[in-house]
């Protein structure tokens, strides 16, 4: 019984070895195919540049060079290699699309969008606060003077990136810029 199991196991191992080596030799990785060389079982490119994605390696090779990529992959920890290759592929594709700025151009566009959206959010918050101020009853004179002392040390609308437009005081929300105007019954613009 044991002999038969050992024999089956050895046979399976032989067949597995034949299948993996024949599969490996029949479809070299995209890097070896591009460089026109034999793809060896220990090829550093094979796990990250499959034969189905030849353009991925072509872009990386054109921008960084196969030798540099090979050195980089050998210097990086094995668990970090996939992330490194994905980063190189993204940067290479970005550089192909925009030879001058590459991925920095895309980052710059996204940063400008973030700044624009932050300004829009700040303006919307300011409008919301103005609306809330117009809905509040007029504060008493004692709380108004306490508010004035407290708000003199804080920021107002238009200050850098603080987004602090009002203060929570005595259970009521008083707006920074419209607090004094609200006392007089004037609308803040």
Asked if residue 5 has pLDDT above 90, the reply is: no
Global pTM value: 0.52
Tokens of 74: 């050998």
Instruction: Express each pLDDT in 91-119 by its tens digit.
Output: 999 999 999 999 999 999 999 999 999 99
- At residue 72, the pLDDT reads 95
- At residue 135, the pLDDT reads 78
Distance between start and end Cα atoms, the chain = 93
- At residue 8, the pLDDT reads 55
Distance CA 59, CA 74 (A): 20
Asked if residue 21 has pLDDT above 50, the reply is: no
Asked if residue 149 has pLDDT above 70, the reply is: no
Asked if residue 66 has pLDDT above 80, the reply is: yes
> By three-state DSSP, how is residue 21 classified?
helix
Tokens of 79: 């668990």
> Taking all residues of the chain, what is their mean pLDDT, rounded to a whole number?
75
Report percent pLDDT > 70 for the chain.
58
Distance CA 144, CA 151 (A): 10
Q: Where are the alpha helices (DSSP H) in 27-168?
A: 30-35, 54-64, 66-75, 81-97, 103-135, 141-151
């Amino acid at each position: 019984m044991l002999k038969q199991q050992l024999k089956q196991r050895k046979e399976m191992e032989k067949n597995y070895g034949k299948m993996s080596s024949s599969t490996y030799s029949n479809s070299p990785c995209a890097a070896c195919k591009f460089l026109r060389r034999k793809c060896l079982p220990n090829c550093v490119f094979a796990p990250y540049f499959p034969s189905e994605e030849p353009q991925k390696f072509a872009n990386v090779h054109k921008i960084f060079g196969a030798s540099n990529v090979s050195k980089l992959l050998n210097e990086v920890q094995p668990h970090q290699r996939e992330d490194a290759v994905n980063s190189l592929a993204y940067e290479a594709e970005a550089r192909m699309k925009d030879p001058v700025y590459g991925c920095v151009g895309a980052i710059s566009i996204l940063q400008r969008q973030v700044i624009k959206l932050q300004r829009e959010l700040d303006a919307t918050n300011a409008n919301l606060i103005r609306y809330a101020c117009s809905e509040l009853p007029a504060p008493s004179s004692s709380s108004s003077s306490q508010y004035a002392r407290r708000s003199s040390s804080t920021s107002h609308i238009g200050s850098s990136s603080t987004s602090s437009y009002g203060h929570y005081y005595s259970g009521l929300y008083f707006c920074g810029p419209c607090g004094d105007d609200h006392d007089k019954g004037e609308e803040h613009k």
